[in-house]
Copies of this chain bind each other. A is one copy, B any other.
Amino acid sequence: MSSPQIRPTDATVADLGEFGLISAVADVVARTAPGTDVLVGPGDDAAVMRVRSGHVVVSTDVLVEGRHFRRDWAEAVDVGHRAAAQNISDVNAMGGRAQWLTVSLAMPADLPAAWALDFTRGFATECAAVGAGVVGGDLSRADAVVVSVTVIGACTVSPVLRSGAAPGDVLALCGRQGWAAGGLAVLGRGFRSPRVLVEAYRRPAPPYDAGPQAAQAGATAMIDVSDGLLAEAGHLAVASGVSIDVSTGSFEVPEPLLAVGAATGADPLQFILAGGDDHSLLATFPAGAALPEGWVRIGTVGSAPVEGEPAVTVDGAPYDGPTGWTHF
């Protein structure tokens, strides 16, 4: 359905009304690639998709304004990209590829309609970039913007779980790590540069191909770094019943993080060890395996920690700095 109300400059979502907004959002979605194997798209009680792989991989995430994003720190289109990216990344971390996504928006009545439409455009564009389609959603009023996303995908080989790491494996990382945390630190101090870090925070660039490639290469366990590298290493260690040691010497601290460290007095390595939101991938591989392109060895897997010892160490010693982000 076409609508003359697309991109109203001043209109709020309440001005458009529920069905006007649904129509405008649907228009935005319809102007991006629909994804493959969609038998019934958005607009009915449910969407229907053909499944060729015999299985589905499903994950869901919620983003809350003021908690996961701030409207004054990121454009709507970037929030849309990020909402899609962090969910696509969860399928990636199983060694799979995203195929279809749903997205719900709860939002204040006085939210500019352009925000909702720009968000949708960013979301749908990020999906289309990996060949995935937006197949459904819901809209409602709320006091703050709350975005809920569910992604459905599939693996070509067996899914790589968090629980498969074994002593003797190597720990490896793929993708930018610490950049988004550096950008967040910059924004939190009221600055807008280094711009490359701010952009990394606003719109992550997860290594989407790296998940399936790692699965193919025999990764034994995998997780995406959304909450902090050491925190995610801890999830792998606990799920696998192993210990993990991270070698800080493996990291080449990128120049922009050095600059932020110098300006703020923070240890730039902290952004790497405790930062999330880049959606880099952390995986373990058998000791002899050749790491796929883009993966860097950053640590080792040992036997289960003795009672009272930490599951994750840094350079062989307990680590008492922050390890990641908590939501309560």
- Residues in chain A within 8 A of chain B (CB atoms): 13-14, 16-19, 21, 39-40, 43-51, 53-64, 67-68, 90-91, 93-94, 96, 100, 102-106, 109, 135-144, 146, 148, 150-153, 155, 159, 161-163, 222-224, 239, 326-328
Q: Helix, strand, loop or mixed for chain A's interface?
A: strand
A46 near B64: Cβ-Cβ < 8 Å: no
Complex contacts, A152 vs chain B, CB 8 Å:
56, 58, 152
- The distance from the CB of A88 to the nearest CB of chain B, in whole angstroms, is 11
Q: 24 A–B contact pairs at CB < 8 A?
A: A13-B328, A18-B327, A40-B94, A44-B159, A45-B59, A45-B90, A45-B91, A45-B93, A46-B90, A46-B96, A47-B58, A48-B56, A51-B54, A58-B136, A58-B150, A59-B136, A60-B148, A62-B146, A64-B140, A104-B148, A139-B327, A140-B327, A142-B144, A143-B144
- Residue from B13, B40, B102 in contact with A159 in the complex, judged by beta carbons closer than 8 Å: B40
Residues of B within 8 A of A222 (CB): 45
User: Among the listed B14, B91, B135, B139, which residue makes an inter-chain contact with A58, where contact means beta carbons less than 8 Å apart?
Assistant: B135
Residues of B within 8 A of A138 (CB): 60-62, 148
Q: How many copies of this kind of chain does the complex include?
A: 2
Contact between chains at A106 and B64 (CB < 8 Å): yes
A218 CA to B269 CA in the complex, in Å?
A: 64
Chain B nearest CB, measured from A244 CB (Å)? 17
Instruction: Please report the C-alpha to C-alpha distance between residue A325 and residue B94 in the assembled complex, in whole angstroms.
Output: 41
| A19 → B minimal CB distance (Å) | 8
The answer on a CB contact under 8 Å between A148 and B62 is yes
**Of the residues B94, B104, B326, contact of A44 by C-beta under 8 Å:** B94
Distance of A292 from chain B, by nearest CB (Å): 18
Q: List residues of chain B with CB within 8 A of the CB of A326.
A: 17-19
Residues of chain B within 8 A of A104, CB atoms compared: 60-62, 148
